[in-house]
Amino acid sequence: MRKPVLALIVVIAAAVAAGLFARQKFHAGSTLTARPTGGDFTLQSSRGPVSLHDFRGKVVLLYFGYTYCPDICPTSLGNLSAAWRMLPPDLRDQVQILFVSVDPKRDTPERLQQYADFFNARIIGLTADKATLDDVVRRYGAVYRIVPVKESRVGYLVDHSAFTYVIDRNGRLITQIPHGTPPKEIVRTLMPLLTHKEDTP
């Protein structure tokens, strides 16, 4: 009797592991739209509308997620914040982190900013209506999907890609930083953009 039960447990465990692995791949941004173009956008913050062009002359780190995210978002924002704090003070002033929520139903601008402030890196929380968000998400090559969770107070989770999008001083999408990149590597990605002066239009 023990062998069949043990075999069943192994099968169930393997299935659960496979499901978690598949979800982690989706979170990590393995599915991207072809040739993301980036570009300007205007979203809502706790202090009113914020546009990407407001940060011309700065390097912008753009991340899509949501405040109810149990693991991926805190890790990504934690690494970005740690990298930001590693920079000399004069270079910190030249970097802006934007956290865009793809869960506007629950993430009000006020809630977003409270969450962003926890990371102590001058992060600005942004969101908008679904149509506006979907346009920005598409142009930056990100993806997300609502996943209902039965018998849970949260009601649903949001699976999402977890790249950080690096935008140069002129508002151009330059590269993507994968989820899990250590802060020191993030700094290495930023330094050439911060130390090379460009004329802003």
| Residue 201 lies inside a defined structural domain of this protein | no
Domain range for 156: 2-195
pLDDT at 153: 76
| Residue 64 lies inside a defined structural domain of this protein | yes
| Residue 65 lies inside a defined structural domain of this protein | yes
What domain count does the chain have? 1
Q: Hey, what are 120's tokens?
A: 């102590």
CA distances from 101 to 22, 24, 87, 112 (A): 22, 19, 26, 8
Q: How confident is the model at residue 155 (pLDDT cuts 50, 70, 90)?
A: confident
| Residue 186 lies inside a defined structural domain of this protein | yes
pLDDT at 151: 74
| Residue 95 lies inside a defined structural domain of this protein | yes
- The CATH number given to whatever domain includes residue 88 is 3.40.30.10
| Residue 200 lies inside a defined structural domain of this protein | no
Give pTM, 2 decimals. 0.82
| Residue 82 lies inside a defined structural domain of this protein | yes
pLDDT at 36 over 50: yes
pLDDT at 197: 65
